[in-house]
Amino acid sequence: MKIFTDRHRYYCGVDLHARSMYLCILDDDGQVKLHKNMEAKPDPFLAAIDPFIDHVVVGVECIFTWYWLADLCAEQDIPFILGHAFYMKAIHGGKAKNDRIDSRKIAALMRGGTFPMAYVYPAEMRATRDLLRRRNYLNRKRADLLGHIQNTNSQYNMDPFPERITYKKHRAHIAEQFIDPDIRASIEADLSLIDHFERVKQKLELHIIHNAKEHDPQAIYRLQSIPGVGPILSLVILYEIGHIDRFPRVQDFASYARLVKCAKESAGKRFGNSGSKIGNAHLKWAFSEAAVLFLRNNPEGMKYRIHLREQVRVEATPR
């Protein structure tokens, strides 16, 4: 976890919402210079911080509305920091909680050097990353529909489909196998949605690949040279990482990708693991898929996997 420790003359804590925002500006002595609610728009924000604009740093909790504020601060050359939502527990405690109190707490965390920082993803690649996440969301919905067809087939104790229905050519006469008109209508609805999702997904993939070739073409080709990493996984890895140099150590990257288990210890005793939800879930999925695909038809990889499993078993055996 990175902590903001830079010193500034003024600290602007923003409790940001979709339509409104509450600002609190503290000076280096902890005195409140501004504390007001306003519309979540660029002009009111710039007008409010104008007297402090040359010496202020802006901080906001990482919620879904931070994009425009980060881009505005970048345009105006105003230092901007993003608070890690999981670590900012200090603003959620207390007997009373409202926007006014939260903005004051955010500014106080910045001034006190205890503000937990999240990564401000670069604007030039952010929209493509979000588009890729949307493509993966649609793909999961497609998988749900395919699963519903399989479950319906098993529900009525029908023979398994002779071929994989993930391929369109194998879905031509599936609905006709169901005699009941209501069941057939349900399956036809699933098939229609699946066909639509596949058309939309293909269009999005072409658009994303075109953008990736402009953003970092060499990275795409290098990632796809790794066994188990195909076109989609390479895109996920590229856009979820952003700039790899933001990780000072390999261990930091592995932790961010949820590839390690964090120990929960106190007084020399271990109480299991924690922090499983902290990190990038999309990278976790991509590397998990790549690992499975890497082991497929790979005897040497399977041999090494068995070796690692035996090693872990020996270490876990009580002595």
Each residue's pLDDT expressed in tens, for the chain with a length of 319 residues = 789 999 999 999 999 999 999 999 999 999 999 999 999 999 999 999 999 999 999 999 998 999 999 999 999 999 999 999 888 877 777 788 899 999 999 999 999 999 999 999 999 999 999 999 999 999 999 999 999 999 999 999 999 999 999 999 999 889 999 999 999 999 999 999 999 999 999 999 999 999 999 998 899 999 999 999 999 999 999 999 999 999 999 999 999 999 988 878 888 787 777 777 789 999 999 999 999 999 988 888 899 889 888 887 877 676 6
**3-class SS at 119?**
coil
Model pTM? 0.88
Distance CA 263, CA 276 (A): 10
CA separation, residue 297 to residues 60, 294, 302 (Å): 48, 8, 9
Which residue in 296, 174, 276 sits closest to 227, CA to CA? 296
Distance CA 275, CA 265 (A): 12
Instruction: Give the fold, CATH level 3, of 2-118.
Output: Nucleotidyltransferase; domain 5 (3.30.420)
The separation between CA 300 and the C-alpha centre of its own chain, rounded to angstroms, equals 33
Number of Cα atoms under 13 Å in the Cβ half of residue 13: 26
Distance CA 270, CA 173 (A): 57
**3-class SS at 36?**
strand
